[in-house]
């Protein structure tokens, strides 16, 4: 488990786009380390315009992977996130010892964190829905979840797909801020880090790839929590799922397979129907303008 080049680049893109602005606390599922060479990390920082980080805290990465693990704590500190915590039964990097298979009992942690991440941990939790419910409970209203998980050739109990995250977002009224596939090649950078790339969530694009040259495919979703309601399990048995609050992505992509817009009740009067249409139109225009002029 750890933040490789793709995860680091994704977090830096979120930083550049303002999604990490005024975020002061983070908690990670799993005791995460940085899995890339220092030279590549410095290049990514430079591209993101981050030059005032404490370089000595990353010095161990000079000899990555033949060096002790560097906690991702120092990476988040470079992004201005000052309060760090992680959950792991192994208690590495000062982790809180919690078994993610079971409900989180420490309610003092509920709604405490601005950012909650899962960089490859929840696939190793057999009761994975409970792990995602724990993430929901840890996150503040208005806070964000950053999930980077395996879709193909993983080593955990589960592999995920877009429908899993879209349905979970719809059931819990999350706003989806970002999504992508993460392609891990068999090749390496000149500095010795694995070559990893973000591509749009497009099945047509995936079908054009030479799968013999791919070591792994991951999937990334970043969602924002909109209310303090407890976690709601989605169900594919339902013909209609709760409305998803927007989908402003950087990539053109295949549309979701399911519709998350609720139907109009059959007994709705004309006046109410007109008001509902106006409200939806206003919401669409507001969402477009906020994205267009951000």
Q: How far apart are CA 100 and CA 29, in angstroms?
A: 9
Residue 291 has pLDDT above 70, yes or no: no
Give 242 or 141, the one with higher predicted confidence.
141
**Span 202-230, pLDDT tens digits:** 888 888 988 888 999 999 999 999 999 99
DSSP-derived pairing of the beta strands 194-199 and 175-188? antiparallel
Q: How far apart are CA 141 and CA 196, in angstroms?
A: 32
pLDDT above 70: percentage of residues in the chain: 86
Residue 3 has pLDDT above 90, yes or no: yes
**Span 86-140, pLDDT tens digits:** 999 999 889 999 999 999 999 999 999 999 999 999 999 999 999 999 999 999 9
Sorted by where each begins, the domain ranges of the chain are 2-224, 264-294
Q: How far apart are CA 236 and CA 258, in angstroms?
A: 10
Q: How far is CA 36 from the centre of its chain?
A: 19
Helices 5-16 and 38-47: crossing angle, nearest 10°?
A: 20
pLDDT at residue 201, rounded to an integer? 85
pLDDT at residue 285, rounded to an integer? 81
Q: How far apart are CA 255 and CA 162, in angstroms?
A: 10
CA 79, 107, 170: angle at the middle one, nearest 5? 70
Q: Burial letters for 157-186: b for 16+ Cβ neighbours within 10 Å, e otherwise?
A: eebbebebbbbbbbbbbbbbbbbbbbbbee
pLDDT at residue 294, rounded to an integer? 53
2-224 under CATH 3.40.109.10, yes or no: no
**Span 223-278, pLDDT tens digits:** 999 999 999 998 776 554 444 444 444 443 344 555 445 555 656 677 777 887 88
pLDDT at residue 234, rounded to an integer? 87
Q: Burial letters for 65-92: b for 16+ Cβ neighbours within 10 Å, e otherwise?
A: eeeebbbbbbbbbbbebebbbbbbeeee
For the chain, the residue count is 294
Close Cβ partners of 281 (under 8 Å, ≥ 6 residues apart) = none
**Reported pTM:** 0.80
Under DSSP, the state recorded for 275 is H
| Token pair for 56 | 């000595």
Measured in degrees and rounded to the nearest 5, phi and psi for residue 35 equal -115, 70
Q: How far apart are CA 133 and CA 172, in angstroms?
A: 10
Query: How high does pLDDT run on average in the chain?
Result: 86
C-beta atoms surrounding 247 within 10 Å? 16
């Amino acid at each position: 488990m750890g933040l490789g080049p793709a995860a680091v680049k994704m977090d830096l893109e979120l930083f550049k786009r303002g999604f990490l602005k005024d975020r002061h606390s983070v908690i990670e599922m799993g005791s995460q380390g940085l899995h890339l060479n220092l030279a590549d990390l410095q290049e990514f920082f430079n591209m993101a315009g981050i030059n005032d980080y404490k370089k000595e805290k990353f010095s161990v990465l000079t000899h990555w992977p033949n060096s002790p693990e560097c906690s991702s704590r120092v990476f988040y500190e470079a992004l201005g996130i000052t309060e760090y915590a992680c959950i792991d039964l192994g208690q590495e990097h000062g982790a809180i010892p919690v078994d993610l298979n079971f409900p989180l009992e420490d309610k003092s942690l509920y709604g405490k964190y601005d950012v909650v991440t899962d960089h490859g941990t929840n696939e190793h939790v057999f009761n994975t829905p409970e792990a995602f419910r724990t993430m929901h409970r840890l996150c503040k209203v208005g806070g964000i979840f950053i999930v980077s998980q395996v879709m193909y050739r993983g080593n955990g109990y589960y592999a995920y797909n877009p429908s899993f995250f879209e349905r979970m977002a719809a059931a819990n009224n999350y706003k989806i801020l970002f999504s992508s596939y993460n392609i891990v090649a068999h090749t390496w950078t000149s500095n010795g880090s694995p070559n990893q790339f973000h591509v749009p969530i497009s099945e047509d694009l995936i079908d054009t790839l030479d799968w013999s040259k791919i070591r792994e495919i991951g999937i990334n979703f970043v969602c924002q929590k909109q209310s303090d309601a407890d976690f709601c399990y989605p169900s594919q048995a339902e013909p209609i799922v709760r409305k998803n609050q927007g989908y402003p992505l950087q990539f053109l992509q295949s549309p979701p397979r399911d519709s998350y817009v609720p139907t109009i009740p059959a007994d709705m009067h004309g006046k109410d129907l007109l008001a509902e249409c106006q409200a939806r139109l206003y919401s669409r225009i507001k969402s477009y303008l906020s994205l267009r002029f951000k």
